[in-house]
């Protein structure tokens, strides 16, 4: 954060939804983010939740350049940019440049959220904002690991891993736009989440406990679980 940034208005908050992948493991006929869950697609559920977080100034959905399917799954609460890359990290990095081109500033916050983490609740996002807004680094929603963990060699247990202090990363992940751009440039395209890139710069993101309901649709069976969870909501 520069002295020039510090003299400007308080930082704004943006959400960025990387949406350029196809989600091959989910077994859907097309891109996973457009698969239906109840009466809405995964992406539509996600955007509806983010739209209820009033402190977010804008939601940017980052699509692949050739995406022609998105229009049926967005409403007027989100902006789009066709600048997705070959990896999640590249898509996020390109999306950050797009935010800056649209007059966001380096010291503004960005909340990066998976399109397929479609059961996210607005109050969880607000909890992350409350926890991180005054933090020097930022942080992420996460879930303490409850199960016994095993490492494997092929299909055999190699070792049992101490689960103490282990967390399962979720999204949104909230960092300053400028810091995250630098972190992604430093870490390269192989990182699988934004916190990993921030860690590679030597920072320690804040962990904000969330719910197991904030699951990411990854496998075919996840749709049935998400349907059941969605059915319990009023």
- pLDDT digit string (tens) for 197-208? 999 999 999 999
233 Cβ contact list (under 8 Å, min separation 6): none
pLDDT of residue 1: 44
pLDDT of residue 71: 87
pTM of the model: 0.91
Separation CA 38–CA 110 (nearest Å): 29
Domains of the chain: 3-231 (3.90.550.10)
CA nearest to 55, candidates 127, 145, 2, 106: 127
CA nearest to 183, candidates 206, 207, 203: 203
pLDDT tens figures, 18-64: 999 765 454 454 788 999 998 899 999 999 999 999 999 999 999 99
Token pair for residue 156? Answer: 């055999």
- Buried b / exposed e along 65-89 (16+ C-beta atoms within 10 A): eebeebeebbeeebebbbbbbebbb
Average pLDDT value for the chain: 91
pLDDT of residue 212: 94
pLDDT of residue 8: 67
Residue 167 has pLDDT above 80, yes or no: yes
pLDDT of residue 103: 95
Asked whether 105 and 179 are in contact (CB, 8 A), the reply is no
- Average pLDDT score over residue span 60-77: 90
29 or 122, higher pLDDT: 122
Length of the chain equals 234
Token pair for residue 50? Answer: 């983010």
What is the percentage of the chain residues whose pLDDT exceeds 90?
79
DSSP H helix total and E strand total for the chain: 7, 11
Kind plus residue range of the DSSP H or E element containing 196: helix 194-200
């Amino acid at each position: 954060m520069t002295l020039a940034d510090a003299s400007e208005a308080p930082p704004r908050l943006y959400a960025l939804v990387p949406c350029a992948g196809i989600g091959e493991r989910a077994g859907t006929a097309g891109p996973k983010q457009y698969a239906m869950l109840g009466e809405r697609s995964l992406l539509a559920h996600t955007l509806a939740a983010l739209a209820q977080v009033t402190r977010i100034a804008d939601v940017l959905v980052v699509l692949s350049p050739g995406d022609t399917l998105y229009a049926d799954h967005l409403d007027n609460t989100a902006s789009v940019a066709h600048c997705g890359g070959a990896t999640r990290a590249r898509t996020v990095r390109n999306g950050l440049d797009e935010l800056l081109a649209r007059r966001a500033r380096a010291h503004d916050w960005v909340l990066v959220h998976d399109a397929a983490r479609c059961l996210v609740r607005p109050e969880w996002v607000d909890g992350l904002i409350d926890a991180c807004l005054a933090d020097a680094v930022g942080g992420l929603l996460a879930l303490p690991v409850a199960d016994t963990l095993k490492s494997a060699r092929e299909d055999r247990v190699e070792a049992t891993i101490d689960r103490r202090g282990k967390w399962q990363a979720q999204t949104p992940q909230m960092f300053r736009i400028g810091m995250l751009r630098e972190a992604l440039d430093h870490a390269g395209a192989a990182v699988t989440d934004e916190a990993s890139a921030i860690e590679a710069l030597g920072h320690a993101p804040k962990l904000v406990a969330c719910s197991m309901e904030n699951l990411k649709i990854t496998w075919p069976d996840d749709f049935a679980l998400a349907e059941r969870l969605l059915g319990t909501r009023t």
